[in-house]
Amino acid sequence: MDFPKVIRLVAQAVYAVFGLAILVLMLLIVLWVNPALISSNRVSPEDWRPRDAKTDLGTSPRDNLVKYGYEIITETSKHIGPMAPKVNVRYAGNNLSCQSCHLEAGRKTGSASFVGVANRFPQFRGRENKMGNLIERVNGCMERSMNGKVLPDNSLEMQAIIAYMEWLSENVPKDKEAQYKGFAKLEIPNKKADVNTGKALYIKHCQTCHMDNGQGQRPSENDKYLYPPLWGKDSYNHGAGMHRVITAAQFIKGNMPYLEATLDNPVLTDEEAYHVAAYINSFQRPQKANPEVDFPDKKLKPVSTPYGPWVDEFSPDQHKYGPFQPIMAWYEKELGIKKSK
Ligand code: HEC
Ligand code: HEC
């Protein structure tokens, strides 16, 4: 055998092994710096945060649709409400934004966040007594919280809102999805909510922003609200979820006073949130048309739905302000139905 040839072969083998080792090392370094390269769908729960339309979108057609959805959520009145230039797209009847209640463009825990929401539909809806999809759920808020009309399924605006919610709902770890869902838990006080106690709390904790007349603040009639109204003609109507004292108390507990209260660090106690929720809901507001058609199966109506008809004999006043425990106990005893709101 030719000796130099053997040396050459050995040298080549050594080079090859070295080269390979360097390549593997480089690959490891790259993955260490940016693990998302191999696991873009499996972000570890500690590193996860909700997507943000201000920073996490590109320029693809889908991204543009999502962006438009984000704009509608944050400036609803300008796009589909009273401030929209074109009269025929004024579907919302008040100047609130979806974001007035679904805070931080639907990205805050404790405010019926949109993070993960698309993964929960279709679902059974007692209010309509049938399976409902996400489009129908959005229209539920259009007709009540926004005191307006339904957005057509195939309108660009509805498609954009849905695209935004679907985008926020992609790759959300299961435990985060549960954390973002719904409102703060509330131990419902076993007493009637007291509007006078609520008024004192309102003056102390709410009035600086929402004003003593509850009408909120905005620079002019042509601007969006800095602080939205809580009652009166530009507020949610009497068929809205926020008009139920229990739901409003849950929202308030986890979110108000704004920028102070969070889901984990509420400012008001459960009882304070309950009284102040009664106070803001004790004033005049727009009336939803045909409220009696809600909940075709009246047994499924939440006990705190403040408008009739009900299958029980409790007074309208008790359905609005409680105490709710006796009503819940009646449903459980007479009809075997457990109710939480
Ligand atoms: C005045 C407050 C308010 C405004 C404004 C509002 N919503 Fe809601 N929204 C609620 C409440 C309260 C609920 C939950 C009701 C319940 O649980 O009974 C809700 C629930 C939802 C849900 C279902 C959430 C889930 O986790 O199942 C969607 C989707 C939704 N709203 C979309 C919208 C959109 C889109 C807009 C704007 C066009 C909007 N909402 C405006 C108060 C509001
Ligand atoms: C520092 C100002 C501030 C204070 C104090 C404050 N809020 Fe708010 N509130 C806001 C803002 C801002 C929003 C809407 C968030 C948005 O548009 O991004 C809001 C939204 C709301 C909403 C849902 C939207 C609507 O118009 O119905 C309710 C209900 C509400 N606040 C009740 C209260 C109550 C009750 C208190 C007192 C316990 C309170 N707020 C204290 C600023 C405030």
> Which protein residues are within 6 Å of ligand 1, measured from CB?
76, 96, 98, 100-102, 112, 117, 120, 137-138, 141-142, 145-146, 161, 181, 236, 240-242, 247
The whole-number average pLDDT for the span 145-159 is: 97
- 335 has pLDDT over 70: yes
CA–CA dist 239, 306 (Å, integer)? 8
pLDDT category of residue 219 using cuts at 50, 70 and 90:
very high
> What pLDDT, in 10s, does the model give residues 3-43?
788 888 888 888 988 989 988 888 887 777 665 555 555 56
- 248 has pLDDT over 90: yes
> What pLDDT, in 10s, does the model give residues 259-297?
999 999 999 999 999 999 999 999 999 999 999 999 999
Residue 10 confidence (pLDDT): 86
Helix (H) or strand (E) holding 132: strand 130-132
Q: Is 230 near ligand 2, meaning CB less than 6 Å away?
A: yes
Residue 124 confidence (pLDDT): 92
> What CATH number has the domain spanning 61-180?
1.10.760.10
Least confident of 23-27, 93-97, 169-173: 23-27
Residue 121 confidence (pLDDT): 95
- 97 has pLDDT over 90: yes
Residue 43 confidence (pLDDT): 63
> What CATH number has the domain spanning 195-335?
1.10.760.10
What is the number of the ligand 1 atom nearest to the C-alpha of 235?
1
The whole-number average pLDDT for the span 59-75 is: 98
Residue 64 confidence (pLDDT): 98
In sequence order, the β-bridge partners of residue 227 are: 217
Q: Where are the alpha helices (DSSP H) in 38-186?
A: 61-74, 76-80, 103-106, 134-143, 156-168, 174-180
